[in-house]
Amino acid sequence: MTVRIKNVAIIGLGLLGGSLGMALRKSSYHRLGWARRGEVRKWALENDVIDESCDDIKDLLAKADLTVLCLPIPQIMEYIETFAECWRPGTVVSDIGSVKEVVVNCGEKFLIPRGVAFVGGHPMAGTEKSGPEAAFEKLYANAEVFITATRNTSAEALGSVRKFWETVGTKVVEIPVREHDILVAHTSHISHIVALALTEAVLDCDPETRALRYSGCATGFRDTSRITSSSPSMWREIIENNQPAILEVVREFEKRYEKLGRLIENKEYDSLEAEFAKGKELRDAWIEYKTR
């Protein structure tokens, strides 16, 4: 049996959590919010990011009908274990972590025995920035959000989490846990490895050469490398917790890249142009899907 969702606790008020509070400003949810640093809790209360806070996270979790853990992956799992006894039976816990299998396993292990539901969530939203100062109201507008169900997930808990995410303007996509992790290895995680290698190939050189390269880097490099400016610890943690799926896509990219390298080496320019045409068609079709 699930309780009616009125009090939503946002734990962590950085880019993801802070933006979530802002996106809920006009909703009927009562926004509880907590961050480790008191000054961030103060900022969130003063800027209508949350409605209520308190010094002790335990008091807040006890009031929550739905809790969304907006923390780095290791902390999501740490908080679930540490505070498992704080949540009332019948309430729902969710998260925003970029990998789901390790998190959902942890959530079900510690919460199900206590009658608390765990539904994994992963909004496909973010920027290369982090922290409360990077939060903005429209972060989630039109983004897609994955929510995961397992054989242990009740339809009611799933429905509550779905409704919550629809309230902030995201499009909800239900997906099994394993399938999610393989999917985002392709659509998100690999990009960070590729962008990093590119940034290093372009800028990791002696200072004199680098100064010249600065002049040659324009909007193409700016966008292709943008996510290299993301949090190093966050991406280490994501890769650490999704290693087998990511390694598979690392090989897939390698195969594609090596083929292009061979075409260039062998001066097979007709075939190279055909690859560029295929890539353009694939991306333009995705852009059309996103903007329709």
Residue count, binding to a copy of itself (CB under 8 A): 92
Part in contact with a copy of itself (CB under 8 A); list of ranges 2-10, 20-28, 87-95, 195-203:
195-203
Contact 44, 22 (CB under 8 A): no
> Residue 254: how many CA atoms within 13 Å on its side-chain side?
6
Q: Is 292 in the site for a copy of itself (CB under 8 A)?
A: no
Structure tokens belonging to residue 60: 């807040």
Q: Residue 247: enclosing H or E segment and its boundaries? A: helix 243-265
Part in contact with a copy of itself (CB under 8 A); list of ranges 14-22, 82-90, 112-120, 271-279:
271-279
- Nearest approach, Cβ of 222 to a copy of itself (angstroms)? 7
| Nearest residue to 20 via CA among 79, 84, 67 | 67
Q: Is 45 in the site for a copy of itself (CB under 8 A)?
A: no
For 110, residues 6+ apart whose C-beta sits below 8 A from its C-beta are 80, 81, 84
Q: For 207-241, what is the HEC assignment?
A: HHHHHHHHHHCCHHHHHHCHHHHCCHHHHHHHHHC
Q: Which of 201, 206, 208, 292 binds a copy of itself (CB under 8 A)?
A: 201
Cβ proximity to a copy of itself, 89 vs 279, nearer residue: 279
- Nearest approach, Cβ of 184 to a copy of itself (angstroms)? 5
CA 117 – CA 284 distance, rounded (Å): 40
Q: Which of 1, 39, 206, 216 binds a copy of itself (CB under 8 A)?
A: 216
- Nearest approach, Cβ of 9 to a copy of itself (angstroms)? 25
> How do strand 117-119 and strand 30-34 relate by DSSP bridges?
unpaired
Q: Is 199 in the site for a copy of itself (CB under 8 A)?
A: yes
- Nearest approach, Cβ of 254 to a copy of itself (angstroms)? 7
Cβ proximity to a copy of itself, 48 vs 240, nearer residue: 240
Q: Is 177 in the site for a copy of itself (CB under 8 A)?
A: no
What residues from 108 to 167 belong to the interface with a copy of itself (CB under 8 A)? 124-127, 143-144, 146
CA 229 – CA 41 distance, rounded (Å): 26
Q: Is 196 in the site for a copy of itself (CB under 8 A)?
A: yes
